[in-house]
Amino acid sequence: MSVDLICLDADDTLWHNMRHFDATEAALLALLRPFAEANVAREKLITCEARNLKLYGYGAKGFTLSMIETALELGGEHLPARVVMEILDAGRALLAHPVELFDDIENTLDALAARGRLVLVTKGDLLHQETKLAASGLGDKFSGIEIVSEKNADTFRRLFARYDVPPQRAIMAGDSMRSDILPALEAGAWAAFIPQSLVWHHERADGPGEHRRFRQLTSLAELPGWIDTLD
């Protein structure tokens, strides 16, 4: 069997992302230290994020709004305006951070493109994701760019139909078990999990266990070799 469509996640699969969010969260917890212990502020932020996802979606803008909401809930009328301004500054910095590619990504993408059509499948704020892709210089390596509001099995089914590829001839690779791996497997595709040291709490999920269409890799560079074993 050959793979005709190779779908790749962007954030923390092609370039670093979570470490910038992690640093921004640490800055927020420091700002809120007069009002709450770090663990309390973190739990409040997690609750705000979960509540706001259906309204703001994924990405730095929604995260910034959730940080402000967290600060207001913890600080109340005693929260200085300067704290809100510093949170806004942190959010702008998060939107403007440089795109740092993982090692040897361009060569890996070239190797993958020799094995099938490459499609970028990422979720989040449309403008921010487009900006990061442009800054990465990788856009020309993909046959298609799909920026979606959510990744679930129906998302992948529609994607496979759009590219006229049966799911058993498609593969998805990414760092999120919840968004990249489980829904792709449910839709009938192959899935390569490339875990990172930092994982957003919302993307955590148990793996599929023993599954013939699933493989955990240590880096994206291992994906061409696994694809070759599927032929």
Phi and psi torsions of 6, nearest 5°? -115, 110
Residue 131: what are its φ and ψ, rounded to 5°?
-65, -45
Place of tokens 């702008």: 92
82 and 110 housed in the same domain: no
Same domain, 90 and 115: no
Identify the domain boundary among 40, 69, 96.
96
- The predicted pLDDT at position 102 comes to 95
Q: 122 and 214 in one domain?
A: yes
Q: What angle do CA 70, 75, 76 make, to 5 degrees?
A: 100
What range defines the domain where residue 175 resides? 5-15+100-230
Helix 18-31 and helix 81-96, axial crossing angle in degrees, nearest 10: 170
pLDDT of residue 7: 98
Contact between 172 and 192 under an 8 Å Cβ cutoff? The reply is yes
For the chain, which ranges sit under pLDDT 70?
A: 1, 231
Q: What is the pLDDT of residue 218?
A: 95
Residue 63 is predicted with a pLDDT of 95
* 48 and 149 assigned to the same domain: no
**pTM of the predicted model, to two decimals?**
0.91
pLDDT value, residue 205: 81
Q: What share of the chain is helix, strand, coil (3-state, %, to 5)?
A: 55, 15, 30
* Predicted pLDDT at 210: 86
**Which of 46, 80, 96 is the last residue in one of the domains?**
96
Residues 88 and 113 in one domain: no
- State the CATH number of the domain containing residue 177: 3.40.50.1000
Domain boundary among 46, 75, 96: 96
Please report the pLDDT score of residue 1 as a whole number: 60
pLDDT (tens digit, 9 = 90+) per residue, 174-204?
999 999 999 999 999 999 999 988 777 777 8
